[in-house]
């Protein structure tokens, strides 16, 4: 496009782009998806692929009056994946939404936009200035926007109150100095480039002022060790894991490898006073949350990228391409034909997916694939237990006083957090009401919990069904990839330092 810009038919390109945008507005493209490559389109757009969403009362000592929100993006990052590593998309809009009155509409939206600046460091080689090919220029990195960094990645954050298109909008500001632009650390290239990555990343934790909130928040955006644990390969190989037995082996929950053990992700994290997230007056302590990413509807690829114009030109309205609230919903609940549609949709339109929850296929598949080895699917239809878990919240736990059935993560902010070391990895079904599905903490083993819930665990607790409805409800289903709070830190940003690209030890 650089060779087109100076020519008369540049106007034709603009008209064509506007026409394409108009067509896409009338006939939207297939929706895209998120969460570790869980839907067809998102495999082509990893920078906007949401992998996990967390929302929990902060359990760092002295921070119990805060709620931590974590939205992870860009899955399956190999630490050695240079030379460009895993920058966020400057042409995308990343959002965290909060519904604080149960109507399935966002009341608060935190919007993140990124900018990647190439400093174009040059070396004099044979008397000529030549641009270097790497994101660092030879000096070790220790500080924010260090001289040794050849790329500076920054971001801004706006808070929208009400509908994101028509609500009031204001910027989050740095509590130290009042600026609105924040630096994101470089990814963990290796120990020679960034000798003390933990200390370097910690300099990117900001105290921020949120418009309309009297209490400062904390914020961090950067690469982290992937917190999710799952026996991914065997789970998707027709659930090629050991069938649950009546006599449960004590080591079964640790019998398989975590396929994400050597992967990193990129985290967007906010820790906000709970009083700033709940509805005015605090009469309803339950909040719902989810994360989305959006891209521009139109894209023109540039046949000849140059210094002044990039590889593509983006334009048109924002189109949501990723959505994630409750974990694993799009992976193992939504049918293959609707995975892209789900991630294009809003919670208010979730009625179109109701059959996937009331008449789920996963329990039937588990029964078929285990060959009836005691793994009988629940018999209650509609599955009101799953409606409570996924669409309304559980009454008496995290169901709002007034609720519109819709998929999102729900947290009762009046339930006190449990300190690290005392948390139960199976959350509510093991008696820990501060855990999943009342929000989600990093140490909640949502794979094991979800397997047990879809096979009728809640029926054994008389939540939406009776024990007789779930022949396998008491079995301890597991994928064998163990997870608990010991895999994390006791303080914000909670997720561990990312794996270094070098040296590989």
Among 16-20, 54-58, 273-277, 311-315, the range scoring the smallest mean pLDDT is 16-20
Helix ranges (DSSP H) in 168-263: 197-202, 232-236
What element of type H or E holds 340? Answer: helix 339-344
User: Which two tokens mark 79?
Assistant: 């630490």
Cα separations (Å) of 479 from 73, 132, 256, 334, 407?
23, 46, 7, 20, 24
Q: Which of the four pLDDT bands, split at 50, 70 and 90, describes residue 5?
A: very low
Cβ proximity of 61 and 490 under 8 Å: yes
Q: Where are the domains of the chain?
A: 39-114+152-226+264-325, 227-262+336-485
Q: Which of the four pLDDT bands, split at 50, 70 and 90, describes residue 175?
A: very high
Average pLDDT taken over every residue of the chain:
87
pTM to 2 decimal places: 0.90
Residues 289-310: tens digit of each pLDDT: 999 999 999 888 888 777 667 7
Stretch 362-369: mean pLDDT:
89
Instruction: State the distance between the two ends of the chain, measured CA to CA, in whole angstroms.
Output: 45
User: Which two tokens mark 432?
Assistant: 């820990």
User: Which two tokens mark 56?
Assistant: 């929990």
Residues 402-445: tens digit of each pLDDT: 999 999 999 999 999 999 999 999 999 999 999 999 999 999 99
Give residue 16's pLDDT. 37
Give residue 29's pLDDT. 33
Give residue 18's pLDDT. 37
Bridge partner list, 71: 53, 268
Residues 212-248: tens digit of each pLDDT: 999 999 999 999 999 999 887 777 676 767 666 544 5
Q: Indicate if the pLDDT at residue 166 is higher than 90.
A: no
Give residue 27's pLDDT. 34
Residues 84-118: tens digit of each pLDDT: 889 999 999 999 999 999 999 999 999 999 999 99
Q: Indicate if the pLDDT at residue 20 is higher than 70.
A: no
Give the other-Cβ count within 10 Å of 498's Cβ.
25
Q: Which of the four pLDDT bands, split at 50, 70 and 90, describes residue 206?
A: very high
Give residue 488's pLDDT. 97
Residues 52-79: tens digit of each pLDDT: 999 999 999 999 999 999 999 999 899 8
Helix axes of 446-454 and 362-369: crossing angle, nearest 10 degrees: 90
Q: Is 50 exposed, middle or buried, given 0-12, 13-18 or 19+ CB atoms closer than 10 A?
A: buried
Residues 23-41: tens digit of each pLDDT: 333 333 333 323 555 555 6
Q: CA dihedral in degrees (66, 67, 71, 76; nearest 10)? A: 80
Compute the distance between CA of residue 57 and CA of residue 274 in angstroms, rounded to an integer.
8
Residues 122-149: tens digit of each pLDDT: 999 999 999 988 888 777 899 999 988 9
Residues 480-503: tens digit of each pLDDT: 899 999 999 999 999 999 999 987
Give residue 84's pLDDT. 86
Give residue 177's pLDDT. 87
Bridge partner list, 125: 128
Give residue 345's pLDDT. 95
Give residue 24's pLDDT. 34
Q: Which residues of 311-330 are buried (b: 16+ CB within 10 A; e: fewer)?
A: eebbebebbbbbbbbbbbbb
12 backbone dihedrals φ, ψ, rounded to 5°: -65, -40
Closest by alpha carbon to 366, among 327, 410, 333? 333
Residues 454-474: tens digit of each pLDDT: 999 999 999 889 999 999 999
Among 77-86, 113-122, 168-177, the range scoring the smallest mean pLDDT is 77-86
Q: Indicate if the pLDDT at residue 332 is higher than 50.
A: yes
Q: Which of the four pLDDT bands, split at 50, 70 and 90, describes residue 9?
A: very low
Task: Return contacts of 141-148, CB within 8 angstroms, 24+ apart.
Answer: 141/186, 141/193, 141/194, 141/200, 142/194, 142/195, 142/196, 142/199, 142/200, 143/200, 143/203, 144/183, 144/185, 144/203, 144/204, 145/183, 148/193
Q: Which of the four pLDDT bands, split at 50, 70 and 90, describes residue 372?
A: low
Q: Indicate if the pLDDT at residue 176 is higher than 70.
A: yes
């Amino acid at each position: 496009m650089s060779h087109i810009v100076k020519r008369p038919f540049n106007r034709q390109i603009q008209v064509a782009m506007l026409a394409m945008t108009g067509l896409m507005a009338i006939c939207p493209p297939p929706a895209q998806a998120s969460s570790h490559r869980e839907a067809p389109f998102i495999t082509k757009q990893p920078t906007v692929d949401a992998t996990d969403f967390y929302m929990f009362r902060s359990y760092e000592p002295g921070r119990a009056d805060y709620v931590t929100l974590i939205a992870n993006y860009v899955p399956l990052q190999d630490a050695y994946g240079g030379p460009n590593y895993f920058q966020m998309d400057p042409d995308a809009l990343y959002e965290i939404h909060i519904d604080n009155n149960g109507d399935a509409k966002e009341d608060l939206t935190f919007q993140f936009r990124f900018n990647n600046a190439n400093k174009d460091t040059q070396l004099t080689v044979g008397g000529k200035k030549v641009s270097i090919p790497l994101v660092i220029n030879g000096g070790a990195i220790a500080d924010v926007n260090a001289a040794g960094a050849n790329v500076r990645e920054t971001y801004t954050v706006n808070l929208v109150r009400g509908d994101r298109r028509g609500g009031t909008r204001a910027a989050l500001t740095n509590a130290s100095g009042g600026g609105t632009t924040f630096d994101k650390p470089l990814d963990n290239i290796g120990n020679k480039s960034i000798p003390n990555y933990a200390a370097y990343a910690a300099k990117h934790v900001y105290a921020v002022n949120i418009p309309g909130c009297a209490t400062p928040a904390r914020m961090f955006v950067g690469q982290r060790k992937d917190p999710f644990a799952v026996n991914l390969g065997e789970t998707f190989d027709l659930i090629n894991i050991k069938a649950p037995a009546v006599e449960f082996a004590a080591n079964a929950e640790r019998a398989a490898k975590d396929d994400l053990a050597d992967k990193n992700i990129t985290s967007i994290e906010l820790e906000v006073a709970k009083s700033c997230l709940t509805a005015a007056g605090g009469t309803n302590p339950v909040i719902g949350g989810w994360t989305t990413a959006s891209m521009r509807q139109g894209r023109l690829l540039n046949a000849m990228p140059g210094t002044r114009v990039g590889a593509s030109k983006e334009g048109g309205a924002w189109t949501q391409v990723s959505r994630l609230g409750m974990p694993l919903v799009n992976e193992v609940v939504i049918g293959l034909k609707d995975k892209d549609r789900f991630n294009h949709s809003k919670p208010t339109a979730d009625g179109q997916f109701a059959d996937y929850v009331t008449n789920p296929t996963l329990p039937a598949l588990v029964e078929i694939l285990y060959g009836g080895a005691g793994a009988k699917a629940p018999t209650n239809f509609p599955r009101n237990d799953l409606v409570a878990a996924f669409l309304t919240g559980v009454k008496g736990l995290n169901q709002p006083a007034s609720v519109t059935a819709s998929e999102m993560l729900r947290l009762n902010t009046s339930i006190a957090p449990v300190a690290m070391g005392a948390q139960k990895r199976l959350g509510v079904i093991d008696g820990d009401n501060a855990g999943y599905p009342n929000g989600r903490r990093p140490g909640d083993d949502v794979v094991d919990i979800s397997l047990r819930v879809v096979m009728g665990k809640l029926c054994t607790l008389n939540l939406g069904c009776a024990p007789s409805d779930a022949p396998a409800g008491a079995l301890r289903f597991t994928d064998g990839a163990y997870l608990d709070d010991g895999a994390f830190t006791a303080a914000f940003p909670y997720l561990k330092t990312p794996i270094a690209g070098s040296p590989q030890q």
